[in-house]
Structure 1
Amino acid sequence: MSQYRVLFAKQILGVPFTVGTVEITRARDPERAVRAAALRFARQHGVEDWRERADVAALDAATAPAS
């Protein structure tokens, strides 16, 4: 299990502005980390779907596992 940081950003005129980050301490793979982070981000912001507050969810390059 690996540790991940997922960045959530809102794009304005094609430029991404980070609106939040979520740390996932244990996930089997990057896809599961992004799904878990999306759920946590939505709960933190009191919305049904994370896309109401952000346009993009991506792994932070520094925390992505090396293959």
Structure 2
Amino acid sequence: MSQYRVLFAKQILGVPFTVGTVEITRARDPERAMRAAALRFARQHGVEDWRERADLAELDGVAAQAS
């Protein structure tokens, strides 16, 4: 299992501005981490889809967790 940080950003005039980050402490792979982060971000902001608050989401700093 690995730790992931997903950054959510809004683009204004082509420049991304971070509107939120979500830490995922355990995920089997990056795809599952992105799905979990998208759901958590949407819940935190009270929307059904994260795209209502952000234009892009990117995985940042994938670090392997010691077993």
- Relative to the length of structure 2, the TM-score reads 0.91
The Cα of 1:48 is off from its aligned counterpart by 0.5
The yes-or-no answer on 1:51 pairing with 2:55 is no
Gaps of 5+ in 1: none
Structure 2: give runs of 5+ residues left out of the alignment: none
Q: Which has the higher strand share?
A: 2
Distance 2:51 2:17 in 1: 14
Shift, 1:65, TM fit: 4.8
Give me the whole-angstrom Cα distance separating, in 2, the residues matched to 1:9 and 1:31. 18
Number of positions where the alignment pairs a residue of Structure 1 with one of Structure 2: 64
The aligned counterpart of 2:62 is 64
RMSD over aligned CA atoms reads 1.2
Match of 2:30 in 1: 30
Amino acid at match of 1:13: L
In 2, the alpha carbon distance for the partners of 1:12 and 1:36 equals: 26
Identity among equivalent positions (%) equals 91
**Deviation of the 1:64 alpha carbon:** 2.0
Amino acid at match of 2:55: D
Cα displacement (A) at 1:14? 0.6
**1:8 pairs with 2:8:** yes
